[in-house]
Amino acid sequence: MTGRTPSHPGGETGTQTLERTATARPRLFRVLLLNDDYTPMDFVVMVLARYFRKSEQAAHMIMLAVHHKGQGVAGIYPRDVAETKVAQVTAHARSEGHPLMVVAQPEPGE
């Protein structure tokens, strides 16, 4: 978009050019909880509520998916948020002595 400004003192005419830049949407990543035979179900529900802000009912349903299907989607986030959540949950699980595995994978189609 080009616009002309009024003449400046001294007879000069200024021209302004405004450019628009397109900002791409950040790539999204799924945060997955993986099943193991040692992490208590109640701990998984607590993690989903605390770190992923899931309701008790939603957390319970995701925990059952982890238990029966081997994995469950805790949430979908931009890469930096997903990696932070993976690190936070992994650190908490280890501090409590649980081997819970949490991974971030690119969202299909992104």
What domains does the chain contain, in order, with CATH numbers?
A: 26-106 (3.30.1390.10)
Per-residue CA distances from 29 to 19, 46, 55, 69, 108 (Å): 31, 22, 21, 20, 9
What pLDDT does residue 84 have?
99
| Average pLDDT of the segment spanning 48-77 | 98
Q: How confident is the model at residue 109 (pLDDT cuts 50, 70, 90)?
A: confident
| Average pLDDT of the segment spanning 37-50 | 98
d(CA 22, CA 48): 35
d(CA 1, CA 24): 21
d(CA 12, CA 22): 33
| Average pLDDT of the segment spanning 50-67 | 98
Question: Is 15's pLDDT higher than 90?
Answer: no
Q: How confident is the model at residue 110 (pLDDT cuts 50, 70, 90)?
A: low
SS3 43: helix
Taking the CA atoms of residue 109, residue 29, residue 66 and residue 62 in that order, the dihedral angle to the nearest 10 degrees is -100
| Average pLDDT of the segment spanning 68-90 | 98
pTM comes to: 0.78
Question: Is 36's pLDDT higher than 80?
Answer: yes
Q: How many residues does the chain have?
A: 110
